[in-house]
Every structure is written in structure tokens, then in C-alpha cells.
Structure 1
Amino acid sequence: MVTTPRWRHAGRVALAVTLSLGASAGVATAHSGGLGGTGRDPIAVPMWLFLLTGGGVVGVSFLLASFVTDRRLIDAIHDWRRPLPTPGRLLRAAARLGALALLVAAVVVGYVGPGTGVRSLTILVVWVGWWGGYVATTYLVGNTWPTLNPFRTLAAPLPSLNRPYPDRLGAWPSVAGLLLLVWIEVMTPLADDPRLLATVLVAYTGVTLAGTVVVGEEAWFDRVDPLARAFRLYGYLAPLTVESGRLRLRLPGADLPETAFEGQDDVAFVVTLLFVTTYDGFVATGLWAGVARAVVGVGAPPTALYLGAYLAGAALFYLAYRASARFSRRGADTHLTATYLARRFAPALLPIAAGYHLAHNFSSVLVLAPTLSVVAAAPLSPPPSPPQLAGLPTWFGGLELACVLLGHLVAVWVAHATAYDVFPSRLQAVRSQYGVTAVMVGYTMLSLWIVAEPYVAPPFIAT
């Protein structure tokens, strides 16, 4: 039986997660907002009841999963595979060249093409076609980025100095790179300025090529490049995978329970990925707009406020997850360290990050995909005004909420299967999930609140 003090500690963990997310605010273009703004009908039930229901669904799913104690059944679910035809070299080469051509076109049109915002091919390709659409395929279908990556295509023929990569750095540069990319995004009008976005693409290409020349292609894309690492992790969730050179079909997230991260740098990257997927949505709420105006109104410099909140939010989010790992260790009463448990349960956060990414970009992709096709047909000609995202059908909002909940439900199952892979005792396996489940319940409620809130343009935005 779980004692009252442990439940109180679980509540503190959930509260810490909520506070960390609340602190993770900054000034943001919020690409969906920058692409026209979003609108949704208010929910028909009181917000508190809506949020409690969502958190309750996750809690109940944990209780239901706890009844699945047959290890052979769990293993059979995650070991299921079906072979599929593997694409030939010609098809892969054509896809690689197509991705490279699209990058070149986005840069060129960004400098010479007309229009701003969703009138620009560069903006639509990057934010709608790539960030909204393609990124979703890495966890819904399979990670094709190793084949399509245009930056790697450019780096492949270059000579390399093959300087030894410092092992002490681990994957921390990719964590810093991910934070830096999002910071650039939120502090500049990348969702509205094609020339600026093209410049960022050129700069990213230059840094990538320089890095591969110094430390080698494998080391750079494996441990430094944030995009390659994010898509590789999302690929663990996808139903398609490549094993021993063959394409295979599996159940979504089947490999996550047996995925063991090597160090805290990997854990930090997953937590940061989760943090930044929530970040754009949070800063586009009325609550943040009011807080930011009030703080800046008493004399605080906007940049210092946003940077401080951004870094503090990332740190608190990481510390909250580590606290849940320590609670899991106490609940399981195990000799395993909290650091080890943090590495083992971190993959369970990936379905949450994927679900929120899909919810955050779903409506933008559906509404603006026709505009992308029109602009792609005549990239240098001013297209007609694009449709606005305001007034989306109610079912759009319902699907966004469903994406959030589905991601959390998958995460609960992954955590359950992970616990049974780690602990020999069934009671230990169940108790070890208390900490991560408390995190998921708190995060579910916050995520649902963000998705259900009307879009509010972030104040003090860069223009």
C-alpha cells in the first residue's frame, strides 16, 4: 500500500512540473500564430472539469495498464514485426536530391521571391511542409531524415580533419543547439520574414558543414546536430524501422521500453524536446500575455525577462523529471539509482512530445497545405491571399485535444512496459511508475489547457 507521504510527494512532483512549464515562457512568434493565428470555439464544459477529466483519463489508464502483468504478453506485443519491401538505391538517391533541391529553392526564393508570411514559398516550405508536416512523419511513419537530410548530402563529399570528438561533451552540444534554435525562432520573426529565414538556413548549413569537416560526419550528426538527434528519437516511436538493412513494420513505440539512454545528456535532450514543443503554445495564451505586460510594465527589460524565464523553465523542467525519478526509486524500494531510472523512463516522454507537436501544428498544416501547392506552382509570383486560421471547424480543436491525450496514453503504456523490463518484481514495477505517472497527469492537464486556450499574440514580439 502506498503511504500518504508518498502521495503528497507525488503531488509535489506534479506541481513542480506545472510550475516549471509555467516558467518556460518567452517572447515567441509561435509559428502557427505567425502564419495567421489560430482560433477555436470555447469548450462547452467548465475548464476545471475539462482538465480534471483529462488528467483522470491518464490516471485511469495507468490503473488499467497495471492489470497487464503477463511479461510474455508484454514482450509479444513489443517484439511483433513484419517485413516490408525495402526502397531501392535509385529511389533513395532521387529522394535525397529532391530534398537538397527543396533546400536550395527555399533559400533562393527567400532572397528573391515576393511576399511575406504565408505568401512566401520559403515560409510555407519550412513551417508548413517541413516543421508541421514532415516532422510529423518521423514519428507517425518512420525516420527518413538520414536519407533526406540535405545538410548531410552537402557534407558527404567534403574532406574531414577527423579531429577526435571530446567524449566529455557527450550530447550536451545538441541540447544547447536545440535551445539556441528555438531561442532564435522566438526572438525573431522567422514565421513572417522569408529573407531572415533564408539567412538562418544558410547559417545553419555553414555551421553544419564546418562541424563535419572538423570532427567528421558521423560524430557531428550523432552527437551535435539537434535536428538529426530529435528525428532519430522520434523515429523510435514510428511504426516503420530499418533492422539489419531491411524495412520492417512494428507497433508504434515498440522499441521504447528497451531503449536505454547512455547518459544524462540524452535525458536532458528528451526533456528539452518536450519543453520546446510546449513553449510555443504557452506563450500564445492570454495568461502569459498578461504576466509579460505586467512584469515589463514595472521596468523589467523584455529581453532579460524572456531569456531568464526561458532558461529557468528548461532547467526546472529537467529538475522536475529528475525528482520524479527519485520518487520512482523510493516507490520501487530498489538498489537501482535514480540516475539509471531517469535514463530508462525518459523514452516514455517521447510520445508526449510527439502528441503535442501534432496538436500544435495540425490545423496549420491542414489549412495552409492548399496554399503551399499554389505557391509552389509559381514561387516568384504573388499568390492570392491565403485562408486565415481563425474560425476553424470545431472538430479541428477536438482532434488537437485527442492528439494530446493519445500521446499521453501511449506514454503510460511505454512506462508500464519499461518498468516490467527493468524490475523482476511486479509490485516494484507498478510502484516505480508512480513518479512518472504523476508527471504525466500534471503535464496532461497543462497541455490540454494550452490547446484549449484561444490564441493570443505574444506581447513584445520582434518585428
Structure 2
Amino acid sequence: MLSERVAAHSGSLGGSVASATVPSWLTVLTGGIVVGGSFLFTTLLTDHDAMRGVNWWRLALPAPARLRRAVVPFARACSVGVLLVVLATGFVGPREGVRNFALLLVWVGWWAGYTATTYLVGNTWPALNPWRAPLSALRWIRDRRRAGGDGDAEGEADSLVGGVSVPAPWGVWPAVVGLLGLVWLEVVSPVGENPRLLAGVVLAYSLATVAGSLLAGPVWFDRVDPISRVFAAYGRLAPIQCGVDGSLSLRLPGTALTEDSLPDRPGEVAFLVALLWVTTYDGLVATPTWAAAVEPVVDAGVPALVVYAAVLLAGFALFLGVYRLAARRVRETADTYVTARAIERWFAPALLPIAAGYHLAHFLGYFLGLAPALAAVATSPFAPPASPLALVLPGWYGSVKLLFVLAGHVLAIWVAHSLAFELFPGVLAAIRSQYPSVVVMVFYTMTSLWVITQPYAPPPYV
């Protein structure tokens, strides 16, 4: 049966996974040593052609265009149907978290389970995204009318798509702000346990996203919508990759990150850093250390919502500042004319395995524990069972999740090592350039492991 902590907050991962059984200081120290040792091992791999042979290996997968044209509309129609059920059960379904389909589907099935598939398998969100349906339907109507030679109808359709542009100087900063805002809302509000509030948030997000996409066009999902950008970023890590022409290929996990740097747009690096930080923040606020630190501040008269927001922004600024400082140090140690800004963009993809490993460590146990409840409620979302069952994970799982964090960091070391040899000529410059990156990764590793090893404590004042 469900533990009290899980039942208390269906959207929270903290109470669903036990903390590690080994001492925190030993776990943190071991993690730092493992990352440092991984770097020392990779320095022995200096054959650039051999590294390219690993990173560039791929196996073409069948992807008939006719099948794609049939599957994508069907999949998107199904996702629209699921979204409508989420809204309906959120507004009128049971109020108990473990019996409400909306809460279980959003937090367990989607944010925990589906998100993991985007980096473990491949990013299917462009095909499933229900908020793309109105834009896709409008574009389909426009194309049909163009084919029929209806000039007036063509102009009418075009006036609804792409009428508003997202200013280029903004880059993808709107998505950064959106991601930070969504995580702050998830932490400080009962959106994870109140189905009515969750349905309201989903409805508001749906209306804003559909309206924005109809006004700005597909660029909305590329530069503004934080959810689409999260899945697109994680998808670059996955073994199944989709080319611009729709072709599919199977690759070794993470190797697609070694080929292309981020686009030269404001906020690209900041978004990946934010993706890494928000998962850390989500775990940090559910630790006894956070409760002990925030209580005196709130007692002194500072509003709790302000404290949570200030720490969210300060932590993001710290993570981003540390990364940018490392990029400048890379330029010095490599003795290169490549600008620090270019170095930031070049090595930023190496952060994705860290973020994915941390997400998996946090959410896999949460997903496994509540998946039976989700399956039971999904069979009858409007009349769910009275007491859905959930799994109680064995005590040793607390140590297994640490392996996910370390695996992500080790893969990040390999990606950074490969990127260094792609950017800098010669062996010595490529190896020396990684010194600052390794220091940053050790910092990220030790921070992540410390959070993972802390016992769960409900975030105070929210």
C-alpha cells in the first residue's frame, strides 16, 4: 500500500524514494573520486579516429514516409483525447491524489515515466504534443486550400499563423523563464496534490500555448514553450535519433551530443543549466537541511514564497556562473583563440547526461512505486478503485539510484572529452582544456549526490 508521504503529495518525488543507506559524506566523496577517475581514464584515449568511430556509429532504422503521415495524426489525436480526460478528471474526478487520474497521469505517467523515455529511447514529443494539434490542423487546411487554388482562403489561413514574431534578441530566454516558473509553481503550490488546481494550471497552460503557437507559428515550440524544449534537449541524448528529413537512426547513447554545438542564440546555454538546476532544486527543498535553513528566515518576516523564489534564482545564477567561469578557464588552459562564448555553447551538451542521470535517480523509483496505481485508475478514470495499490521499493534501491547519477556524470565526461578533441587541435590542448570542466562536473556531482542522500522532509510553509 502507499506510504503516507507519497499519498500526501502525488506530484512530489521526495517521499516516494528512500534515501541512500550509506553515509552521505562517503557517497559524496566517492562520487567526486569516480568522476575524477573517469577523466583520468579518458585521457588515455587520444585516438581521434577511434573516438569518432564510436561517436559516429549509427544504424539506419526503417521510417516509411507514408507510415509517418498515418501514425503522427493518430498519435496526436490520442494525446488530445488524453489531455481532455486529464482536464475532466482534474475538475470533477476524485479529490484523493492516488485515485485521481489527472494527478497520476501528469506526475507519474508523464513527467516521471514519459520524460525518461525521451532520453532513454527517443524524443516522440513532436508527434504526441497535443498543443500542436490546432496549429497542425490550421496548416493542413491552408495547404488544402492552396492546392485548391482558393486565394482568399489562403490569405485568411495565413493571417492566423505567424502573425506575431518572437524578438530575436530574446533567443530562448522565454523558455528559461518558463521552466523556472513552472518548477517554482510545482514546489510552492499544492498543484501536485490538488486535482482542481492542477486542472486549472493545465487549462491555462494549454490556452497560452495554443494561442502563442497560432500567433507565432512553430517558432513558439522552439523558443518559448519550456516543455517542448526540455524534451528536445533530452532527446539529443537518446539512442534513437530523428534527422531533419524524418529518417531514424540507432546510435550509442549520448554520442549524438558530440556532433553539433548549440545554436548561437541567447539563452541556449542558460536553458541547459536551468534544466540541470531545477531537478536539483526540486530535491533540495525536500531535505531537512532546507527546512532548518528556511524556517529562521521566514520567522524573521520574509514571505516563504519570496524565499523559495530567491533561492531558485540564486541557485540558477550560481550554476550558470560556475559554468561560464569554467568556460573562460578552458580558454586559458587550452591557450586558444576560440572565444569563451563559443566554448560555452560547444561544451554545454555535456551537461545533458548529468541532468538525465539526476532525473532518472529522482523519478524512476517514484514511477515504479505508483505505476500500479496509475494502471488501475486508468482503466476507469471516472470511477477508480477505492484503494489503488502501489509498490514499496526494497531498501537497496536507495543505493541503486546513486548509480544513475554517477552513470550520467561518467557519460558527461566522455561527451566533454570527445567535444574537446573536435574543437582543439592536438592532444595536449584537448586534454588541458578539460581540467576546468572536470572541476565543474565534480562540483555538480557532489551537489547532486548530497541531495540524493538526504532523507525526505516535506517543504515547509508550502
TM-score between both structures, scaled by the size of structure 2: 0.89
Query: Is residue 447 from structure 1 mapped to residue 424 from structure 2 by the alignment?
Result: no
What pairs up with 1:45-84 in 2 under 5 angstroms? 46-84=23-61
- What CA distance in whole angstroms lies between the structure 2 residues aligned with 1:425 and 1:263? 29
User: Is the alpha carbon distance of 1:41 and 1:310 closer, same or farther for their aligned partners in structure 2, counting shifts above 3 Å?
Assistant: closer
User: Is the alpha carbon distance of 1:56 and 1:375 closer, same or farther for their aligned partners in structure 2, counting shifts above 3 Å?
Assistant: same
Match of 1:141 among 113, 118, 121: 121
Contact kept? 1:30, 1:281, Cα under 8 Å: no
> How far is the alpha carbon of 1:31 from its aligned partner?
6.3
Match of 2:306 among 304, 307, 316: 304
Using the aligned pairs only, state the percent identity: 50
User: Is the alpha carbon distance of 1:236 and 1:166 closer, same or farther for their aligned partners in structure 2, counting shifts above 3 Å?
Assistant: same
Aligned to 1:260: 261
> How far is the alpha carbon of 1:255 from its aligned partner?
1.7
Aligned to 2:335: 333
> How far is the alpha carbon of 1:38 from its aligned partner?
2.9
Aligned to 2:93: 113
C-alpha offsets along residues 156-187 of structure 1, whole Å, 9 cap, x if unaligned?
22432533332111111111111111122112
Match of 2:76 among 96, 109, 128: 96
- What CA distance in whole angstroms lies between the structure 2 residues aligned with 1:322 and 1:234? 21
What pairs up with 1:392-403 in 2 under 5 angstroms? 392-403=393-404
Aligned residue pairs: how many?
A: 430
- What CA distance in whole angstroms lies between the structure 1 residues aligned with 2:215 and 2:19? 52
3-state SS of paired residue (2:137): coil
What pairs up with 1:404-415 in 2 under 5 angstroms? 404-415=405-416
- What CA distance in whole angstroms lies between the structure 2 residues aligned with 1:222 and 1:58? 33
- What CA distance in whole angstroms lies between the structure 2 residues aligned with 1:373 and 1:39? 20
Measured on the aligned residues, the alpha-carbon RMSD in Å equals 1.9
- What CA distance in whole angstroms lies between the structure 1 residues aligned with 2:239 and 2:220? 26
Which is worse superposed, 294-303 or 96-105?
A: 294-303
Letter in 2 for 1:316: L
Contact kept? 2:346, 2:419, Cα under 8 Å: yes
User: Is the alpha carbon distance of 1:228 and 1:139 closer, same or farther for their aligned partners in structure 2, counting shifts above 3 Å?
Assistant: same
User: Is the alpha carbon distance of 1:113 and 1:140 closer, same or farther for their aligned partners in structure 2, counting shifts above 3 Å?
Assistant: same
TM-score between both structures, scaled by the size of structure 1: 0.89
- What CA distance in whole angstroms lies between the structure 2 residues aligned with 1:419 and 1:104? 47
C-alpha offsets along residues 346-401 of structure 1, whole Å, 9 cap, x if unaligned?
00000000111111101111011110011011112242334567x63123212211
Aligned to 1:356: 358
- What CA distance in whole angstroms lies between the structure 2 residues aligned with 1:79 and 1:453? 39
> How far is the alpha carbon of 1:127 from its aligned partner?
0.3
Match of 1:43 among 21, 35, 39: 21
Aligned to 1:223: 223
Aligned to 1:239: 239
User: Is the alpha carbon distance of 1:31 and 1:84 closer, same or farther for their aligned partners in structure 2, counting shifts above 3 Å?
Assistant: farther
Letter in 1 for 2:71: L
User: Is the alpha carbon distance of 1:446 and 1:178 closer, same or farther for their aligned partners in structure 2, counting shifts above 3 Å?
Assistant: same
Letter in 1 for 2:357: G
Contact kept? 1:66, 1:430, Cα under 8 Å: yes
3-state SS of paired residue (1:185): helix
Contact kept? 2:19, 2:456, Cα under 8 Å: no
Higher relative contact order (CA 8 A, sep 6+): 1
3-state SS of paired residue (1:335): coil
Contact kept? 1:35, 1:117, Cα under 8 Å: no
Contact kept? 2:20, 2:398, Cα under 8 Å: no
User: Is the alpha carbon distance of 1:358 and 1:288 closer, same or farther for their aligned partners in structure 2, counting shifts above 3 Å?
Assistant: same
Query: Is residue 320 from structure 1 mapped to residue 322 from structure 2 by the alignment?
Result: yes
Contact kept? 1:80, 1:251, Cα under 8 Å: yes
Query: Is residue 181 from structure 1 mapped to residue 190 from structure 2 by the alignment?
Result: no
Letter in 1 for 2:85: A
Gaps of 5+ in 1: 1-28
- What CA distance in whole angstroms lies between the structure 2 residues aligned with 1:339 and 1:141? 31
3-state SS of paired residue (2:249): strand
Gaps of 5+ in 2: 1-6, 139-159
Letter in 2 for 1:330: E
Letter in 1 for 2:441: M
- What CA distance in whole angstroms lies between the structure 1 residues aligned with 2:11 and 2:162? 43
3-state SS of paired residue (1:381): coil
C-alpha offsets along residues 20-51 of structure 1, whole Å, 9 cap, x if unaligned?
xxxxxxxxx9966747823526524x432221
Query: Is residue 275 from structure 1 mapped to residue 252 from structure 2 by the alignment?
Result: no
- What CA distance in whole angstroms lies between the structure 2 residues aligned with 1:424 and 1:439? 23
Aligned to 1:437: 438
Aligned to 1:157: 137
